[in-house]
């Protein structure tokens, strides 16, 4: 065979490369054009959500508890952040066993928070400013003080009996189900009056509603319609994957749990037989009638099951949030005790990259590092020491605002608020910490160890009052706050941060604007993880057409270098948490760099 000359070989090679790259580019151009996500743009995909814990935002009547008038009075501040949607934790009437996640009347406002008139004013003031309101919807369970439950428990023949799940005692002890909040750990509570047990996945003050009863579903849809007609812009749905139950209540052995549900009760709870049927029904009867958004608290959902909730073709919900990220770094078989070595960044990167992949073409994801069920983001994922608190909290905010998926940003994180780290169980208000403490005590466990763990992981760390200024009680209340205020209020507060151009607050505002001004890339653009085994740096690109950004995040308190393999000679810095930042893959401690690539 005639030998190929160097020249002809290079011509062939040239053609081969051109053909494959053409093929590739038509393929990627095609897939970019045709994915549901690049075509189907929505306001809630482009939005930044700001979550307010109403109990701790602003008190106006001196009872030490935040209220709706307080929220209304601070809307200009919220608007100044540049965010679009406010999600409020439950504000309905509630005896507050679980701070509003136990609702006694879905059509009334919690008395500590104000009146329906205060609500109407708040909503209209939000809308005047172009802010949307998302309400919490807690319908897996109600309060035991809800009229439905009072009726239901009163006799076996009451018309409301089937609004909840009852197990007559003559059938013996019901098959074990765990509950999240009670000392005894069982989700069945015996009720003497009718000699029956009722089901509660959380506390016994939060009985689970029986969704298998069509009347219950109709009541809930009617209630949702009433709120949407009032003008609210959507719902965040509390533990919504748990609503449907196999009412034969089969025995679930450890073996079944392990083999079928990966050893996770959450996954079992999220596998109810009619779950998706009910969500489709809810969509048809409620959500489809309005231009609103819906978000599932994706408890028990996995990479495999999440799409079923948010695939537009299925007509269920819009977005979901998972727990894989926030569960990292805990020791196995212990209640929220951090591994002394912390979490591994490589695992963190894998979780967020795997989840990004799920919604690459259709459906839509979310991104968050803090909320009312989590400790403060900077303590848990960054570094809350004096030296690194501000810089690391800005780095984490950079992550949240440059990923694909709608960011859910928790109030106070823009200030870099950190965990309060109570020493004494008496300072805690959260049913979860208090009952886990009792469980530990009953078992003769190590209470000191438990409390040390809670300094990092307890939910109350994220629930302390918002820090407005350096005055007594941080400008939150003139009374005695319902939970202690963090002592760092003198330094970490809105007034001092508004006056400091380098503050986490001012940096957050810049990040929001960066996302808004670059929606094609930062909202809709594709995501690619680089340098995946780097233990210190999280590096990724976001790309849309010819526009590309490289995000470099040093998650450690030491200098670290990224090896992205990219040519940065024409790159420019769009934003960084260091004022002396330059284009470089060598990063200062907790440095965040957002680069435009040419």
Tell me which residues are annotated as active site: 238, 297
Looking at residue 503, the DSSP 8-state letter turns out to be: S
In the complex, the smallest distance separating the C-beta of residue 420 from ligand GLC, rounded to whole angstroms, is 18
Q: What share of the chain is helix, strand, coil (3-state, %, to 5)?
A: 40, 15, 45
Angle (CA) 116-410-484 rounded to 5° is 80
Q: Which of 292, 291, 302 is nearest to 269 (CA)?
A: 302
409 or 468: CB nearest ligand GLC:
409
Q: Which of 317, 132, 89, 318 is nearest to 233 (CA)?
A: 132
In the complex, the smallest distance separating the C-beta of residue 90 from ligand GLC, rounded to whole angstroms, is 9
In the complex, the smallest distance separating the C-beta of residue 270 from ligand GLC, rounded to whole angstroms, is 12
In the complex, the smallest distance separating the C-beta of residue 121 from ligand GLC, rounded to whole angstroms, is 26
373 or 491: CB nearest ligand GLC:
373
Q: Other C-beta atoms within 10 Å of 193: how many?
A: 9
In the complex, the smallest distance separating the C-beta of residue 393 from ligand GLC, rounded to whole angstroms, is 23
102 or 414: CB nearest ligand GLC:
102
Looking at residue 473, the DSSP 8-state letter turns out to be: G
In the complex, the smallest distance separating the C-beta of residue 81 from ligand GLC, rounded to whole angstroms, is 23
Tokens matching residue 501:
């151009």
Tokens matching residue 79:
């608007």
The span from the CA of 283 to the CA of 277, in Å, is 10
Q: How far does CA 354 lie from the centroid of its chain? A: 17
Select the residue whose beta carbon is closest to ligand GLC and give its number: 101
Instruction: Please name the helix (run of DSSP H) or strand (run of DSSP E) that holds residue 168, with its range, or none.
Output: strand 166-168
- Residues of this chain that interact with ligand GLC (CB under 6 A) are 98, 101, 138, 202, 238-239, 297, 372-373
3-state secondary structure 524-579: HCEEEEECCCCCCEEEEEEEECCEEEEEEEECCCCCEECCCCCCCCCCEEEEECCC
> What ranges make up the beta strands (E) of 243-312?
293-297
Query: Strand, helix or coil at 417?
Result: coil
């Amino acid at each position: 065979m005639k030998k190929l000359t160097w020249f002809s070989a290079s011509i062939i090679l040239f053609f081969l490369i051109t053909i494959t790259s053409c093929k590739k580019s038509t393929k990627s151009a095609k897939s970019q054009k045709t994915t549901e996500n690049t075509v189907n743009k929505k306001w809630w995909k482009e939005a930044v959500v700001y979550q307010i814990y109403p109990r701790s935002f602003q008190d106006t009547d001196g009872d030490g508890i935040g209220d709706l008038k307080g929220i209304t009075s601070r809307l200009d501040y919220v608007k100044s952040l540049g965010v679009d949607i406010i999600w409020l934790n439950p504000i309905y009437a509630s005896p507050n066993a679980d701070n509003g996640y136990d609702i006694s009347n879905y059509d009334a406002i919690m008395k500590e928070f104000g009146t329906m008139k205060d609500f109407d004013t708040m909503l209209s003031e939000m809308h005047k400013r172009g802010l949307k309101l998302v309400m919490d919807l807690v319908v897996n369970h109600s309060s035991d003080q809800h009229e439905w439950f009072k009726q239901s428990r009163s006799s076996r023949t009451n018309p409301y009996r089937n609004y909840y799940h009852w197990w007559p005692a003559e059938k013996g002890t019901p098959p074990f189900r765990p509950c999240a909040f009670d000392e005894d750990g069982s989700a069945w509570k015996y009720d003497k009056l009718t000699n029956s047990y009722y089901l509660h996945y959380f506390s016994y003050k939060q009985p689970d509603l029986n969704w298998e009863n069509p009347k219950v579903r109709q009541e809930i849809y009617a209630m949702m319609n009433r709120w949407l007609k009032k003008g609210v812009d959507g719902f965040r749905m509390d533990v919504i994957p748990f609503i449907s139950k196999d009412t034969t209540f089969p025995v679930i052995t450890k073996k079944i749990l392990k083999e079928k549900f990966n050893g996770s009760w959450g996954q079992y709870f999220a596998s109810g037989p009619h779950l998706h049927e009910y969500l489709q029904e809810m969509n048809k009867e409620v959500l489809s009638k309005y231009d609103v958004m819906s978000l599932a608290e994706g408890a028990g959902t996995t990479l495999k099951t999440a799409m079923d909730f948010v695939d537009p073709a299925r007509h269920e919900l819009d977005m979901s949030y998972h727990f894989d990220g926030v569960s990292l770094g805990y020791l196995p078989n212990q209640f929220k005790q951090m591994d002394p070595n912390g979490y591994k960044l490589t695992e963190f990167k894998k979780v967020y990259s795997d989840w990004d992949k799920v919604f690459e073409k259709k459906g839509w994801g979310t991104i968050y590092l803090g909320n009312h069920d989590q400790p403060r983001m900077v303590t848990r994922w960054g570094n809350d020491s004096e030296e690194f608190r501000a810089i690391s909290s800005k780095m984490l905010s950079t992550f949240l605002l440059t990923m694909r998926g709608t960011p859910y940003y928790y109030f106070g994180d823009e200030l870099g608020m950190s965990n309060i780290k109570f020493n004494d169980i008496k300072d805690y208000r959260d049913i979860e910490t208090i009952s886990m403490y009792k469980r530990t005590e009953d078992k003769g466990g190590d209470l000191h160890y438990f409390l040390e763990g809670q300094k990092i992981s307890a939910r109350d760390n994220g629930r302390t009052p918002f820090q407005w200024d350096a005055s007594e009680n941080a400008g939150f209340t003139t009374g005695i706050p319902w939970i202690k205020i963090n002592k760092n209020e003198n330094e970490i507060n809105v007034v001092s941060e508004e006056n400091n151009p380098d503050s986490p607050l001012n940096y957050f505002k810049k990040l929001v604007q960066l996302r808004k001004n670059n929606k094609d890339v930062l909202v809709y653009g594709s995501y690619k993880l680089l340098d995946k085994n780097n233990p210190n740096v999280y590096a990724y690109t976001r790309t849309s057409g010819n526009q590309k950004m490289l995000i470099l995040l040093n998650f450690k308190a030491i200098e670290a270098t990224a090896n992205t393999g990219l040519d940065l000679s024409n790159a420019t810095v769009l934003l960084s948490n260091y004022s002396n930042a330059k284009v470089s893959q060598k990063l200062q401690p907790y440095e965040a760099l957002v680069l435009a690539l040419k």
